A and B are shown apart, each in its own frame.
Chain A
Amino acid sequence: MTHRIVILGGGTGGTLTANRLRRIYKKEEASITVVDQDDRHVYQPGLLFVPFGLTHPEDIVRPRSRQLRKGIDYVRSAIDHVDIEAEQVHLTNGDALPYDVLVVATGVDLLPDETEGMTGPGWMSKVFTFYNLEGASALEGALAKFEGGKVVINIVDMPIKCPIAPLEFAFMADWYFHERGIRDDVELTYVTPLDGAFTKPTAAAALGHLLDEKGVHVVTEFNTGEVDGESGRLVSYDGREVPFDLAVMIPIHGGAEYVGRSEGLGDELNFVPTNPATLQSTVKPNVFAIGDATNLPTSKAGSVTHFEGEVLVENIRRFLAGEQMDATYDGHANCFIETGFHKAMLIDFNYDTEPLPGHFPTQVGMPLLKESRLNHLGKLMFQWFYWHSLLPGRDIPGIKPDMPLAGKALSRS
């Protein structure tokens, strides 16, 4: 019998899952179908560099279909809903796709409309986001014309994709205005709902220190209730205000809209309830989820998705073979943090171990939680690995899915 595997989403998770599955199953053993509404695969880590003119939209977008191995069907359509009881995906083009295994890999949607005023007056003229291609490009134009004043970077609420990207934006903005010779005329403020610069204590302290060094003001525990583009101010639910001339917003994130239309598939924020160790959903045994689409307590990031891929594919194989699930995903995440001036930091962590200082992956390796030029080169090189190693579903040499402890300074935790 040919297994029918349907993968919703042709981004990082969907693509690497499809490619890994195609390698383990012969064509007659399984049909693999990937569904996506458009054919633009964006290298999302590149979005950070667009506003500063360091990369361009055409350099970070490739066709989704071209990233898939031969023998994978690509269906271009939006999804209306999934019927998890009848085991069918209903597309907006009217077709229905029956499945034996479903993989939800549709990531997150940005929901700027959920915050009062964000998309009102000033949206895309002094209120921007760099979390999508359109926003990042528009912000490039606005930054180029910016001659001084108050710039705020605001995370509205967690969870967000790549929780360090807003910090990187602050570091990069500091560097950018410095290079333009107007840093003294720009007031940079980082406004976050968290009680520190990052979610994990050791890294929060190191990153908070770095913000301080770079003269970025930090406003914590700020829950944005309203963005007033007209008079240029963020207003929190508890009545505090932060004025701005230019606002860089990270809007509220939610799971894909169709998840909400699919009875029983998602939680109240449209994320798929997922077993943290196996990546099998808890809603139905033949529904799996990967990457940003899950409700897992790990960062929504490409590295996480990559590390999840191996366990996910093994578990789909086991499920179809009637075997026990392999419960070994440990929440491993690994991120380069661009800090400007040709330097970057590297952090590596999982569900239980917060980002610690040391070296990665062993004692002889890249410095962790510390700025270096080597990490900056690593960040730049990563784009090559993304297209040529990560999406094809191959491992990055020397880096395994489970988090290495070898080079970490555990005693300092």
Chain B
Amino acid sequence: MTTKTVDGVAVEVNDEGFFEKPEQWTEAMVPVLCKEEGIDEVTDDHMKVIRFVRNEYETKGTGPTVRALGKTSGVSVKELYQLFPKGPAKIAARVAGIPKPKGCV
């Protein structure tokens, strides 16, 4: 676990860069977090997905998988990969300040 500063605020992240304390996240951090993932321009579509992921986590306790995102967020899997080329579920979770989505076994 390490502490890093995002948008002037100290936050705790794990080895893979996921927030240890989702409550430390604010929407204002999104542009900085996205930049770290190689996403220079945060569009409305990015925000739509990030808010959705955040809301899923808050209601269900875990972030959605890519397939679940594709079925429920209103953004298709193909578009999700255009928004987050390195893996929508993982990257969206990281920039939404939630833990790594529980994978399947």
Return chain A residues, CB-CB under 8 Å to B102. Answer: 297
Pairwise interchain contact B87-A221, C-beta atoms closer than 8 A: yes
Is B8's CB within 8 Å of the partner chain A?
Answer: no
CB closest residue in chain A, given B71: A268
The answer, yes or no, to whether B74 is at the interface (CB within 8 Å) is no
Whether A157 contacts B105 by the Cβ 8 Å rule is: no
Binding site secondary structure of chain A = loop
Q: Which of B65, B77, B105 has the most CB of A within 10 A?
A: B105
In the assembled complex, the CB of A7 is this many whole angstroms from the nearest CB of chain B, namely: 25
Across-interface contacts of B72 in A (CB, < 8 A): 268
Q: Name the contact of B67 in the complex, choosing from A157, A194, A199, A297 (C-beta under 8 A).
A: A157
Report yes or no: A199 in contact with B71, Cβ–Cβ below 8 A: no
Known: A268-B71, A268-B72. A163 touches B77 (CB 8 A): no
Residues of A with C-beta under 8 A to B103: 158, 194, 199
Bound together, the chains give a CA A282 to CA B85 distance in angstroms of: 35
Which residue on chain B has the smallest CB distance to residue A198?
A: B105
State the 7 A-B residue pairs at the shortest beta-carbon distance, nearest first. A237-B81, A159-B104, A158-B104, A268-B71, A199-B105, A268-B72, A268-B68
Instruction: Tell me the B residues contacting A by CB distance below 8 Å.
Output: 65-68, 71-72, 77-78, 81, 85-87, 102-105
Q: Which residues of B contact A298 (CB under 8 A)?
A: 105
Asked if residues B105 and A269 are in contact (CB atoms below 8 Å), the reply is no
Q: How far is the CB of A403 from chain B (nearest CB, A)?
A: 14
Q: Is the CB of A238 within 8 A of B85?
A: yes
* Contact of B87 (CB < 8 Å), options: A157, A159, A223, A225: A223
* Interface residue tally on A, bucketed by range: 10 to 19
Additional A-B contact list (9), CB under 8 Å, known A223-B87, A237-B78, A299-B105: A157-B67, A158-B104, A199-B103, A200-B105, A221-B87, A225-B77, A225-B81, A297-B105, A298-B105
> Which residues of A have CB within 8 Å of B86?
238
In the complex, A219 has a CB within 8 A of chain B: no
CA distance A163 to B105 in the complex (A): 8
Q: Given the complex of chains A and B, what is the CA–CA distance between A266 and B72 in angstroms?
A: 14
Can you list 16 A-B pairs with a CB-CB distance of less than 8 A? A157-B65, A157-B66, A158-B104, A199-B103, A199-B104, A223-B81, A225-B77, A225-B78, A225-B81, A237-B77, A238-B85, A267-B68, A268-B71, A269-B67, A297-B102, A298-B105
Q: 1/0 per residue A241-271: CB within 8 Å of B?
A: 0000000000010000000000000011100
Chain A residues in 8 Å Cβ range of B81: 223, 225, 237-238
Which residues of chain A come closer than 8 Å to B65, judged between CB atoms? 157
Smallest CB–CB gap between A37 and chain B, Å? 25
Residues of B within 8 A of A159 (CB): 104-105
In the assembled complex, the CB of B1 is this many whole angstroms from the nearest CB of chain A, namely: 19
> Given the complex of chains A and B, what is the CA–CA distance between A237 and B87 in angstroms?
9
Cβ contacts under 8 Å, B104 to chain A: 158-159, 199, 297
